[in-house]
Structure formats: structure tokens, C-alpha cells
Amino acid sequence: MHEYSKYILFEIDNICSFNLEIPYTVYSPQEDTFLLAEAIINLNMVKGRSLEIGSGSGAVSLLLAHLGWNVLSCDINPYAVAATRANAKRYGFSETIKTIENGVGEDLVIDPNISLIVWNLPYLNPLKDGDEQLEYIEDAAYIDTNNGGWSEKLLKELEHSQISDDCVVLLLFRTYPKSPSSPVTWKNRGWASRLVNRKVIADEKLEVYAFWKPGNNKSPLIIEKCDSTMDEAKKLSGIGWNRILTNNQNKGRGRRSSKWVSGTGDMLATWVIPKSSVQDISIGLLQIEIGSLVADALNVNLKWPNDIVSIDFRKMGGIIIESSDAEDVIRVGIGLNKDIKLIDGQRTSGWSEIFEDANHLKIFENIDAALSSRFEFPNLQMLEFNPNSLINSWNSLSRYLSRGVILNNNQIKYRVVGLKENGFLEILNSHKMCLNDSLDNINWEYDINN
């Protein structure tokens, strides 16, 4: 053993065991390394070319190669490069792991054939004046950077690179205390995202996210004019992530076949989602959950069961779901006003009040990423991915209800206290608790000062 290095056992039960020689100036496998490794093991992807950024000791690169990946690993610390090469050679992976001295911000060229990118992001906050400085090569392993962090720098490089359409990016963030790198940045740029692993270590929360481009980076079908995107969507294949978007819709429909009044510039689209992605959710709850995803993407409110409303309770849009027993897909239609309208004497809202510089394509992109994050499985499956539709939907509805909203049913006032698996509301007055499953005979009363 070299006097400037140590041996660390990187072992995962029933998967791998590597006794790694690691220089003292190189990051050794820690709990965050195992957290990222667990997420990699749970990926059910066709093995191809992968890239590990910041390889350190080479532990993750060796795991990837052991699982069947062809690996390009890089690090800007020359001692880390040497360690990764030596450990790969020791365990017979010299042919499947290529290691270079490079990194994000260092003219790193990303091979367009790479289908998986992995990075345990540095997450210590940038040093302030007067803080004790680390060695440069230690800075690279531990310390994040300002202005969006290393995550933002990687995102920009990917946006200017010719990456594979089915590329999945797996990143480990410190989300508490907040570090400059944040998964929110990716969501805001149209990437689908999914939390795949997390752990609280002492007073820090570490989370691993997977990111991908919705529909393997395939654009929606855009048509200039149609009667209804829901009807046009019946012509689309049920295979893959299919969406249709129109600039003008003449006969759009809302709940119970009511007419949806749309105008130029509105966001009018339909998604075709395989039933296999939603098989454990009732249609009633599914409609609410989709509404919650849309409301969250736009930072507005969801009104039960399917209305998207502004913060001051004006209707912005709506959601309908259609299918039949003979079909293996559902169609999700979403219509959102761009501008304020006066419909049947009621003043509506529009997304342009919030996103002044956006157009309907940008709004579509935000919603597409939100729906893909929840319902699309882009060549991967998370072993522990089990989203709680009921909790997510109730959390979204609660933001609306917490602002002094009361349900009036046949002139009796109720407070909404819960949501059931079938999408029914639990409502309570001074005399009894009951369920509400219909829009008939109900009105919502608002305290606009709340």
C-alpha cells in the first residue's frame, strides 16, 4: 500500500465488493455514494454507454461496469483519475472504463451515444471571505459553485450538446440545507424529473433525482386548427408518450360535454397515456391528481374536481379524461386560457397574468414535463417508485381550501376535511360528516380577503 493512500471497502450486498486504493486527496465512498449507487442499481434500463462525472475513487464507475455499462468517467483531480484507472485495472475493467482528466466547465465533450449520466454533485456551500480554504483538488470534490451550482452548469452543457434523446441524468443533490444546485432548475427548463432515492444524514437531506426529456425528446403533434384535440388524439398511437397540440379549437368540450370556449393563443392539448401507467388509480382521483400537477406547474390553484383557478379564484382552465373499456389508453384534455375573458358574465383568468413573456408552447412544455414526471416511464423503472396519489392531490386541493373556501350544498354550508381514494370529498358541518361526489347543487363560497 502506498504511504499516501488508503484502502476502503466499497461493498453492496449481493451486488459487488471492491477494496479500493484511494489517495488521501481523493473523495472516498461515503453514505452519499451508497445512496447514488442504490439508485443506479434500481434503474431498469438497457445497458449502453454511461458517463460518470467526478469519479473520485472510481467506486460508482466500477459499479456501473459491473452492472454491464460501458463507462466514460472523468474528474478534474489528477489523483482521482489515477485512482479510478488503477482500481478499474485491479478488477478487470480497463476495457469497459475509460477515465479522462476533465469535467463540466472544462470543455467536456458529451458523446451523443451516452444514455446515462451520473454525478454525485458537490454540495457544500461556496466559501465566503474569511473561510478556511481547501486545496484546489478538494474544492472540486466538495464545494458547489454560485449562480445555479454545478447542476446548472451541466444543464447548460447538455442544452448545447447533441445528447441522446433517451438520455437519463441521475444526480445527487443536497436539498437541505439548500445548496446552489437544485432539481427545480431542471423542471423549469422542460425536463421531466423524478425523486428516486433520499436519505437524511445528520442534519442534511440528500436526494437523488432522475431527469429526462419527455417523450424521448419527441415534439407533440401540432395542428393549426381542429374541432377538438380529444377527438384528434383518438388517431394517435397508444405506444409511447403521445401528445397533440392545436392553435385553434372550434368545438372543445368540458365536463359533461359542456362547450369549452377557447381563443387564439390558449394552451389546448391532449395527452394519450397508457392505462398501465395509471392502473391503480380511480378515474375520479386521477383527474384530481392531474389537476394538481397542472396547478403546481403553473403555481396556481386546483378547484375540485377539475378546474384550474387563479389565486383569486377566477377560472383559468379545465381538465377532462376520456376512455372506454375497449381501449388500453386514456386521453387527458387540458385547456388553459391565455388572457382574461368574460364568459357568461364571469371574468376568467389567463396564464399570461403570471407568465407575461411566455407563449402557449412554453406553457405546454411546463405541463408536459410535469405529466411525464409522474406518468411516463422513459426506458426505466424505479424499484421503490410508489407515488401517493391521494396525498399529492389532497395537498394541492388544501392550498385552495385553506383560503377560506366553503362548500355550499343545497343551502347547507360544509367544510371540506378530506379526500377519498375514489375522488369524493369528505365534507363536514355542525351536524354530520358526509361525502360529496357531484357538482350538482353545490356552490363554492370564497373569502377573498383570506
In percent, the amount of the chain with pLDDT more than 70 equals 89
Please determine, for residue 134, whether its predicted confidence score (pLDDT) is greater than 50. no
pTM of the model as a whole: 0.89
pLDDT at 97: 98
Residues 265, 317: Cα–Cα separation, whole Å: 13
**Distance from the Cα of residue 106 to its chain's centroid:** 28
pLDDT digits 0-9 by tens, 360-416: 999 999 999 999 999 987 555 554 444 578 888 999 999 889 888 999 888 889 999
Residue with grid cell 453514505, as numbered in its chain: 31
pLDDT at 346: 84
Please determine, for residue 11, whether its predicted confidence score (pLDDT) is greater than 90. yes
Does 218-389 match 5-212 at the fold level?
A: no
**Domain boundaries in the chain?**
5-212, 218-389, 399-445
Residues 320, 350: Cα–Cα separation, whole Å: 18
pLDDT digits 0-9 by tens, 422-437: 999 999 987 788 888 8
Integer angstrom CA distances of residue 6 from 21, 143, 397: 6, 23, 54
What value does the mean pLDDT take over residues 72-77?
94
pLDDT band at 140 (very low <50, low <70, confident <90, very high): low
Please determine, for residue 267, whether its predicted confidence score (pLDDT) is greater than 50. yes
The answer to whether the beta carbons of residues 123 and 140 sit under 8 Å apart is no
Please determine, for residue 2, whether its predicted confidence score (pLDDT) is greater than 70. no
pLDDT at 144: 63
Residue with grid cell 375520479, as numbered in its chain: 284
Residue range 218-389 in CATH 3.40.50.800: no
Measured in degrees and rounded to the nearest 5, phi and psi for residue 320 equal -130, 150
What SS3 class is residue 234? coil
The CATH class, in words, for 5-212 is alpha beta
DSSP 358: -
